Amino acid sequence: MQIVIIGGGFAGINLAKDLSNHKGIEVILVDKNNYNFFPPLIYQVATAFLEPSSISYPFRKFFAGKKNLQFRLGELQKVIPAENKIILNNGELHYDQLVFATGAETSFFGMENVKKNAIPMKTLNDAIEMRNTLLKNLEKAAITKDIRKRRQLLTIVVAGGGPTGVEVSGMFAEMRKNILLKEYPELETSASNIYLVDGGDALLSPMSKESQADTLEAVTKLGVLVKLNTRVVDYKDDTVYFENGETIQTKNLIWAAGVSAKVFEGIPTESYGRGKRMLTDAFNKVNTTENIYAIGDTCIQLSDENFPSGHPQVAQVAIQQGENLAENFKLMLKNKPLKPFKYNDKGSMAIIGKNKAVVDLPKPKMHFKGFLAWMIWLFVHLMSLITYRNRINTFYHWMIAYFSKDQSLRMIIRPDKKSKVEAKPE
């Protein structure tokens, strides 16, 4: 059985890992990047508290020694189900079973100016671009004499009150408190505001009321200005426009407000549901197809009685669906009944700042906050990294940051080609 997996995120890598060295199964994993990375920690790369290699690992190195796993660098262009074939940007592949594990991409809700000018927070490349942009803006602010321009360069607006928005806002607040004035004494008398805005009436809306209240209190104490029931409608000329008519002038709009799955040529229109997610049955087989599956954020499964509207787009769903589908492929070889997917909700969590986090556990129903929740968050995220090398590297950088309240990774490593010196007076 030849299985082709499109995408090497949580879902795809766990599916491949569980099929490794299994007799009768050949796996080809296709991804547009040659590495797997850990999305929950990209904001720490973006804020220069982790290096990219701490949360990423090459597929080929991970597959080394696993005889039935292959990696193919490429992007999917088209699926031809009648021929069990996919067309890539650099060739084609045949399959017996095709699995989509393509995750989700940033959604700008049709706002072209926001798409063009905001800083997204979805990929490792986004994180590096964000780090470079913020560092270059700090350098510009340090030599700018115009007070209004300096305020624009230092003001940060984070759109989206989910875990990513909360975590990156908290990180910025910690940096402002412990690092900014130490390294940029020129900015000692400058005003800098951090705004966290969300269109809903609470931060961390999927979590418990206790977590929402604790998070609002914690980020507010850190000095973050929270604006709820506030939707971004445009971003142009360094000005963020809101639905209620308010505006904020800034050169830093960080977009963490929404995601959408991708549509692929060759997959029938009727196979897609809400948010462009592929509709699947209880075994993750895409509706109206025979041997095409979807797992993780790119699919929506309505057969789980505990989640009749579909599963949340979180890492644990992707991991568990990858593991379940791997088991079903093994059962197929033995002509045994397949196992329907049932999501085991292990809880949700978010970090806010040093010694500050919130954790909700469903069974038994428990809520944690503060230092204990922070320790739980650190442990879970550390153990979720794909290799021991990633875990050791990340733990090392975390310990430095914890005891020194600092990190030495604030380097602009990808300056624009057109100029060697970016900082210019404004």
**pLDDT tens for residues 325-382?**
999 999 999 999 999 999 998 889 998 888 889 999 988 889 999 999 989 988 888 8
Name the β-bridge partners of 57: 36
Integer Cα distance of 84 and 95 in angstroms: 6
User: Is residue 405 very low, low, confident or very high in pLDDT (cuts 50, 70, 90)?
Assistant: low
- Look at the domain 112-258 and name its fold: FAD/NAD(P)-binding domain (3.50.50)
Give the per-residue pLDDT at 412: 67
End-to-end CA distance of the chain: 62
Query: What is the DSSP secondary structure assignment for residue 202, as one 8-state letter?
Result: S
- Does residue 37 have a pLDDT over 70? yes
Spatial separation of the C-alpha atoms in residues 133 and 299, rounded to whole Å = 33
pLDDT at 400 over 50: yes
- Distance CA(351)–CA(369), nearest Å, equals 10
pLDDT, tens digit (0-9, with 9 covering 90-100), for 179-188:
787 888 888 7
Hey, what CATH class is 2-32+74-104+261-333 in? alpha beta
Residue ranges per structural domain of the chain? 2-32+74-104+261-333, 112-258
Judged against a pLDDT cut of 80, whether residue 417 lies above it is answered with: no
Same topology between domain 2-32+74-104+261-333 and domain 112-258:
yes
Mean pLDDT of 276-290: 95
Residue 15: pLDDT band (50, 70, 90) is very high
* Beta carbons of 277 and 298 less than 8 angstroms apart: yes
The yes-or-no verdict on residue 108 having pLDDT over 60 is: yes
Please determine, for residue 415, whether its predicted confidence score (pLDDT) is greater than 90. no
Q: How far apart are CA 391 and CA 402, in angstroms?
A: 16
Secondary structure (3-state) at 210: helix
Q: Tokens 């690992």 map to which residue? A: 57
What pLDDT, on the 0 to 100 scale, is given for residue 189?
67
The reported pLDDT for the residue numbered 179 is 79
What span, in angstroms and rounded, lies between the C-alpha atoms of 141 and 324?
A: 51
Asked if 208 and 171 touch (Cβ cutoff 8 Å), the reply is: no
CB 324 within 8 A of CB 284: yes
Q: Are 28 and 2 in contact (CB under 8 A)?
A: yes
